[in-house]
Chains A and B, each alone.
Chain A
Amino acid sequence: MRTFEDLVEAHGREIFAYALRLTGDRDEADDLFQETFLAAFRAFAKARDEHLRAWLYRIATNKAIDARRRRRRPLSLDDLELAAPERDGVTTADVAAAIRALPPHERAAFVLRRVQDLPYDEVARALECSEEAARKRVSEATKKVKEALS
C-alpha cells in the first residue's frame, strides 16, 4: 500500500457500499466516503497494512455517527434500493427502514457483520470494542430487525 490510489482501489468500493447502507442516502454516502478517505489520507503514515480495512470501517463508522448527530434527511426510494440488501419476501425498503431505526452503534455493527460480512474480530476493531461487545450489538440489532420485519 504505497499510494492513496492503492488504498482507494483496494477498499473504495466496499467502503462506499458500507456508506450507502449506513446512511441510506446517496448524497450522505458520498460525503461520508469523502470524509472517510480524506481522514485516512491525512493519517496515512500511521496506517498499518494488516488492519487497513478495519481502520477504514472505524473511520467511516465514527464519521457516520458524527454526521447523524448533525443532520437528518428523509430517504428516497431509489436510495433505499441501493442501500438495502435483498431478502426473501421482504422489500428492500422494509429492511433499510428497519436498519435505519437501530441506534447508531448497533446499526454499524449490524451492517458490518450481516451486510458487509466482516468477521467479528474485524467488526470489533472497526467499532473499537471487544469482540464480545460486537457480538452482543449484532445480536441485539438482529433481534430488533427481525421484530421489525415480522
Chain B
Amino acid sequence: MTLDVLLADARERLATRAIAEGVARVAVDVMQSPLGPLWLAIGPKGVLAIHYGADANEGDLRRIVARYGPGVLRAPKRLDEVKRELDEYFAGKRTRFELSVDLSALTPFQRRVLAATKRVPFGRVRSYQEIATQAGIPSASRATGNALGANPIPIVVPCHRILGSDGALHGYAGGVDRKRWLLKLEGVLR
C-alpha cells in the first residue's frame, strides 16, 4: 500500500470526524458529469454550491467562509447523495431534486428569485419577467437576470429554465452551450 493511498484514507476519516464533531461544517468534492467537472459544496442546511469546473469559484468560497467559517474540507462521502441525484438527472432518470438547498448567505431578493426559479418544473421554461413578478418586483427583470447569473446552485436551482420573453437563451453562468444541453435533456429544445 502506498503512502498516497494511506493518506487518502486518513484524509477521508479526518473530514468525516471533523464534520461529525462539528469542528468543520462544510464538505466539498468534485464530480464528473456530461458537462465537465462540477465542484460541489454542502453545509449543515443543504447544498451551498455547484460550480462548473474542478476548482472552487472564488465568490462561492468567500460566501461559504463568511457564512460558516474556515471549516471547509474535502469529504467525498458526505456528498454521495448530491452526486447520486445529479447522476440520475443527467441520465434522464430524475426530473425533480429532493436535495435541500441553502440560500441563507444570499440577499433577500436573490433568495426570492432563486426560490421562484426552483419551482419551475422539469421541461418547462419561464421568462425573466415572470420570475421577477413571482419574486415580488415585476419591474426588476434586469436585476432578476443578475440574480440568476449569480445563482450558486445551478442545475438544482434550474436557472437554465429561464429565457428571454422572446424565447432567446440569453446568458448562463456555465456558458450558453451548457444551457442548451440542459434544455435538450429536458426536451425543451431539439
Asked if A120 CB lies within 8 Å of chain B CBs, one says no
Taking A16-B7, A30-B10 as contacts, is the C-beta distance between A3 and B17 under 8 angstroms? no
Give the interface residue-count category, chain B: 20 to 34
Instruction: Identify the interface centre among A5, A8, A33, A37: most chain B CB within 10 Å of its CB.
Output: A5
CB-CB contacts below 8 Å: A37-55 with B: 37-38, 41-42, 44
User: Considering the chains assembled together, what is the distance between the CA atoms of A4 and B22 in angstroms?
Assistant: 13
Q: Please tell me if the beta carbons of A41 and B17 are within 8 angstroms of each other in the complex.
A: no
Cβ proximity bits A1-29 to B, threshold 8 Å, 1 near / 0 not = 01111001000110011001000001001
Q: Please tell me if the beta carbons of A38 and B7 are within 8 angstroms of each other in the complex.
A: no
Taking A34-B14, A37-B14 as contacts, is the C-beta distance between A13 and B71 under 8 angstroms? no
- Note all chain B residues with C-beta closer than 8 A to A30: 6, 9-10, 13
CB-CB contacts below 8 Å: A80-111 with B: 82
Cβ proximity bits B1-23 to A, threshold 8 Å, 1 near / 0 not = 10110110111011001100101
- Note all chain A residues with C-beta closer than 8 A to B24: 4, 41
User: Considering the chains assembled together, what is the distance between the CA atoms of A44 and B4 in angstroms?
Assistant: 25
Q: Please tell me if the beta carbons of A5 and B28 are within 8 angstroms of each other in the complex.
A: yes
- Note all chain A residues with C-beta closer than 8 A to B61: 2-3
Taking A4-B24, A4-B72 as contacts, is the C-beta distance between A34 and B13 under 8 angstroms? yes
- Can you name 14 A-B residue pairings with CB atoms under 8 Å? A3-B70, A3-B73, A4-B72, A4-B73, A5-B72, A12-B7, A12-B10, A12-B11, A13-B7, A16-B10, A30-B10, A34-B17, A38-B23, A41-B23
| A interface residues with partner B (beta carbon < 8 Å) | 2-5, 8, 12-13, 16-17, 20, 26, 29-30, 33-34, 37-38, 41-42, 44, 78, 82
